[in-house]
C-alpha cells in the first residue's frame, strides 16, 4: 500500500502548496484593492484615527487635526470652515472626502508611497505616523476679501496670479461648514451631510471651478482676441447696428446699451459691450475660429484636477445665428469662473496662459518638501502684441466703459463686464472678469453672481460683480 500512500502524500503536499500559493497571491495582488474598498472599516477607522497633516493657506491652517479623547483620537477641524470649504473640501467617516482632502488623501494620511521611508522609521522608532501637510497657493487676505465682498449673494470668485497660474482666492457662496461632516458623532455627521447634499442652493457645489455658466459678455474677450489674432486692430471699424437680424431667423438681436454709432472701433465696442458689433465680428470670423481661440484659452479641457475642475464649452456645430449669439457668450457657451479668470490671466500675462494650480508644496512631517509645483505654461492663445492691445482695450472698459466701478486709483486695472441671460425663467448672472497690475504684482479675478436681480445688460456685471473683483484685487496688490 505504500505506492498509493505516497501518492496521497503528493496530493496532500499539493493541497498545502495551494494554500501557500493562494495566501501569497492574496498578499501580493489582493491586499491593495481590499484596503481601498469603501466598506473596509478597518482602513476607514484607522485613517480616521490618524494624525492627518494640515492644509495651509500661507501660514494659516485651514484644515488641521486636533487630538481628542475618543476612539478615533484625532479630530479633523477646519478653523475657518465656510471660508475655505471650496478648497479643503471635507473629510468624513461615512461620506468619503472631497476637495484637497480627497485629491491629497494619501499624502495627508501619510500612506502615500512618497512617505514610505518615513513610515518605516516611525514603525521602528514606535512613533505615531503623521501625515504630510499640503500648502496651497491661496492668499488668505484675498480669500477673506472675496468672501466679504461676495457676502450672502450666490456666486463665486476666483483669483489667479497670471504669471504663475497660482490660484490666490477661490470662494463660493453659499458655503458650508466641513466641521459638521467631519464630526466624530457619526450619526450627526451623516445627518449634516444629508442636509447639505439635498439643500436647494447646493452649498457643497464648488461654483468657482466645478460649475459652468453662460459667460455672457465676458466671452467678448475671447471674440476680441480672435479678431485681433485674425489681423484686426483696436481701431478697426466694426458694424454696430442698433438691431441685428440673426441670419436665417426672424429674430433681432438688440443692444442693451448705446453703441455710439453704426460703425464703431473694436476698442469702443468692448468698452460699451456692444452686442451687435461682436455678433457681427463672430459672423465674420466664423465658429471655428472662435472655438479655436476659446480652446487655446483652455475651453474644452479640465483644469485644476486637484479640485475636479469642469471643462468649459463652446458649441460643437452652431449655425450662423447661433455663432452670432455664441460670440457674445450666449447660446450654448458655458464657462466656469475659473475659466474666465484664466482668459483674463492669459491676456494680462502678455498672451501666455499658465496652468492653474492650487497646491504649491507637499511637505513631510519633518518639513522636507515631497512634491513642489513648478509653474507650467499651458498655451499661448495670443501674441504678446495682441495681448497688450487687448489689455489696453480692457483698461478702457474700466476707465471709460461699463466697468468703472472696478477702478483703483494708481493701479492699472482692465476688465470686462457681463450679464448672462440664457433662459428667460432664470435670473441673469452678473459677471465681471478683470486683472490689475501694480509694479511687478499682478492678479486676475473672475466673479460671477447668480440671481443678480437686475435686468440691464452690462451695468449689472459692473454694478454687482465689479466691486467684488476690485476688493480682491486690492487685497492682493
Partner 1 sequence: MMSASTPVIVVPRKRRNVELALILFALALTLGAAAMVDLNVTGSISSTFPYLAGVGAGLALVAHIAIRWKLPYADPVILPCVVLLNGLGLAMIHRIDLINDPPTSGARQQLIWTALGVVLFVLVAFVIRDHRPLQRFTYTLGLSGIVLLLLPLVPVIGTAKFGAQIWIHVGPYSFQPSEVAKIFLCIAFASYLVEKRDVLALAGWRVLGLDLPRARDLGPILLMWLASLAVLVFQNDLGTSLLFFGLFVMMLYVSTERPGWAVLGTLLFAAGAYLGYLLFAHVKIRVGAWLHPFSNYDLYYQVVNAQFGMAWGGLLGTGLGLGRPGLTPLARSDFIAAALGEELGMTGLMAIVMLYALIVSRGLRTALACREPFGKLLACGLSFAFALQVFTIIGGVTRLLPLTGLTTPFMSQGGSSLVANWTIMALLLLISHHVRKPVATVSENVAAQDETQLLKRPA
Near partner 1 by CB under 8 A, which window of 37-45, 64-72, 154-162, 439-447? Answer: 37-45
Looking at residue 247, the DSSP 8-state letter turns out to be: T
* Longest CA–CA separation in the chain, Å: 113
Q: Check the CA dihedral 31-33-39-43 and report its sign.
A: positive
Near partner 1 by CB under 8 A, which window of 39-47, 220-228, 241-249, 364-372? Answer: 39-47
Least separation in angstroms between residue 34's CB and partner 1 is 4
Near partner 1 by CB under 8 A, which window of 43-51, 86-94, 237-245, 416-424? Answer: 43-51
Instruction: Report H helices in 53-184.
Output: 81-88, 99-103, 105-109, 116-125, 140-150, 178-182
In whole angstroms, give the CA distance from residue 421 to residue 436: 27
Contacts of 40 by beta carbon, 8 Å cutoff, 6+ apart: 34
- For partner 1, the closer of residues 126 and 198 by Cβ is 126
Binding partner 1 by CB under 8 A: which of 30, 376, 426, 441?
Answer: 30
Near partner 1 by CB under 8 A, which window of 34-42, 48-56, 134-142, 294-302? Answer: 34-42
Q: Is 18 in the site for partner 1 (CB under 8 A)?
A: yes
| Residue 441 to residues 4, 141, 160, 239, 413, Cα–Cα distance (Å) | 88, 15, 12, 37, 12
Q: How many of the other CB atoms lie within 10 Å of CB of 476? A: 21
Nearest to 432 by CA among 467, 399, 457, 400: 467
Q: Is 456 in the site for partner 1 (CB under 8 A)?
A: no
From 217, 273, 321, 326, the catalytic residue? 217
10 Å CB burial of residue 377 (0-12, 13-18, 19+) is: exposed
Least separation in angstroms between residue 71's CB and partner 1 is 11
Q: Is 70 in the site for partner 1 (CB under 8 A)?
A: no
Q: Is 27 in the site for partner 1 (CB under 8 A)?
A: yes
Q: Is 29 in the site for partner 1 (CB under 8 A)?
A: no
Least separation in angstroms between residue 29's CB and partner 1 is 11
- Displacement of CA 260 from its chain's centroid (Å): 37
Whole-angstrom Cα Rg for the chain: 27
Q: Is 4 in the site for partner 1 (CB under 8 A)?
A: yes
Least separation in angstroms between residue 38's CB and partner 1 is 9
Q: Is 69 in the site for partner 1 (CB under 8 A)?
A: no
Binding partner 1 by CB under 8 A: which of 6, 376, 441, 456?
Answer: 6
Q: Is 114 in the site for partner 1 (CB under 8 A)?
A: no
Least separation in angstroms between residue 42's CB and partner 1 is 4
Least separation in angstroms between residue 187's CB and partner 1 is 19
Near partner 1 by CB under 8 A, which window of 15-23, 169-177, 245-253, 359-367? Answer: 15-23
**Per DSSP, what are the bridge partners of residue 361?**
135, 372
Residues in region 136-195 near partner 1 by CB under 8 A: none
Looking at residue 466, the DSSP 8-state letter turns out to be: H
In whole angstroms, give the CA distance from residue 474 to residue 476: 5
**Per DSSP, what are the bridge partners of residue 155?**
173, 449
Nearest to 258 by CA among 460, 455, 458, 421: 458
Contacts of 405 by beta carbon, 8 Å cutoff, 6+ apart: 462, 463, 466, 467, 470
**Would you call 217 a catalytic residue per the annotation?**
yes
Q: Is 124 in the site for partner 1 (CB under 8 A)?
A: no
Q: Is 199 in the site for partner 1 (CB under 8 A)?
A: no
Can you read off the three cell numbers belonging to residue 341?
479668470
Least separation in angstroms between residue 30's CB and partner 1 is 7
Nearest to 224 by CA among 467, 422, 415: 415
- For partner 1, the closer of residues 12 and 384 by Cβ is 12
- Footprint of partner 1 on this chain (CB under 8 A)? 1-6, 8-9, 12, 15-16, 18-20, 22-24, 26-27, 30-31, 34-35, 37, 39-43, 45-46
Provide the annotated active-site residues. 217
Amino acid at each position: 500500500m505504500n505506492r498509493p500512500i505516497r501518492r496521497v502524500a503528493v496530493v496532500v503536499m499539493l493541497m498545502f502548496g495551494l494554500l501557500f500559493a493562494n495566501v501569497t497571491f492574496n498578499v501580493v495582488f489582493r491586499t491593495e484593492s481590499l484596503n481601498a474598498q469603501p466598506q473596509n472599516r478597518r482602513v476607514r477607522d484607522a485613517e480616521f484615527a490618524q494624525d492627518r497633516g494640515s492644509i495651509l493657506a500661507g501660514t494659516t491652517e485651514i484644515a488641521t487635526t486636533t487630538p481628542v479623547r475618543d476612539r478615533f483620537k484625532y479630530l479633523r477641524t477646519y478653523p475657518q470652515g465656510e471660508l475655505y470649504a471650496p478648497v479643503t473640501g471635507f473629510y468624513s467617516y461615512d461620506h468619503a472626502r472631497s476637495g484637497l482632502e480627497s485629491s491629497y488623501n494619501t499624502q495627508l494620511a501619510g500612506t502615500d508611497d512618497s512617505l514610505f521611508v518615513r513610515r518605516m522609521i516611525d514603525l521602528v522608532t514606535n512613533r505615531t505616523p503623521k501625515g504630510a501637510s499640503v500648502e496651497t497657493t491661496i492668499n488668505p487676505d484675498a480669500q477673506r476679501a472675496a468672501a466679504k465682498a461676495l457676502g450672502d449673494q450666490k456666486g463665486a470668485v476666483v483669483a489667479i496670479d497670471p504669471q504663475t497660474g497660482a490660484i490666490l482666492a477661490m470662494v463660493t457662496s453659499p458655503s458650508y461648514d466641513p466641521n459638521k461632516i467631519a464630526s466624530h458623532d457619526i450619526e450627526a455627521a451623516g445627518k449634516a451631510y444629508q442636509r447639505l447634499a439635498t439643500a436647494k442652493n447646493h452649498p457643497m457645489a464648488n461654483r468657482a471651478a466645478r460649475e459652468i455658466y453662460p459667460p455672457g459678455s465676458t466671452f467678448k474677450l475671447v471674440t476680441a482676441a480672435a479678431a485681433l489674432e485674425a489681423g484686426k486692430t483696436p481701431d478697426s471699424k466694426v458694424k454696430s447696428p442698433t438691431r441685428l437680424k440673426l441670419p436665417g431667423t426672424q429674430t433681432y438681436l438688440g443692444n442693451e446699451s448705446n453703441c455710439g454709432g453704426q460703425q464703431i472701433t473694436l476698442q469702443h465696442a468692448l468698452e460699451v459691450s456692444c452686442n451687435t458689433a461682436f455678433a457681427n465680428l463672430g459672423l465674420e470670423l466664423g465658429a471655428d475660429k472662435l472655438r479655436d481661440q476659446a480652446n487655446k484659452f483652455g475651453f474644452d479641457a479640465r483644469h485644476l484636477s486637484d479640485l475636479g475642475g469642469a471643462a468649459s464649452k463652446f458649441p460643437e456645430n452652431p449655425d450662423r445665428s447661433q455663432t452670432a449669439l455664441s460670440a457674445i457668450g450666449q447660446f450654448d457657451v458655458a464657462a466656469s469662473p475659473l475659466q474666465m479668470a484664466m482668459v483674463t490671466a492669459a491676456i494680462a500675462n502678455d498672451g501666455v496662459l499658465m496652468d492653474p494650480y492650487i497646491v504649491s508644496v507637499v511637505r513631510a512631517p519633518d518639513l522636507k518638501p515631497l512634491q513642489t509645483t513648478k509653474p507650467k505654461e499651458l498655451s499661448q492663445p495670443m501674441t504678446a502684441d495682441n495681448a497688450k492691445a487687448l489689455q489696453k482695450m480692457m483698461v478702457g472698459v474700466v476707465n471709460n466703459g461699463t466697468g468703472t466701478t472696478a477702478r483703483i486709483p494708481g493701479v492699472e486695472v482692465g476688465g470686462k463686464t457681463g450679464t448672462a441671460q440664457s433662459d428667460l425663467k432664470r435670473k441673469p448672472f452678473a459677471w465681471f472678469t478683470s486683472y490689475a497690475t501694480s509694479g511687478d504684482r499682478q492678479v486676475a479675478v473672475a466673479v460671477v453672481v447668480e440671481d443678480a436681480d437686475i435686468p440691464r445688460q452690462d451695468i449689472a456685471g459692473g454694478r454687482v460683480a465689479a466691486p467684488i473683483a476690485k476688493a480682491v484685487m486690492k487685497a492682493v496688490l
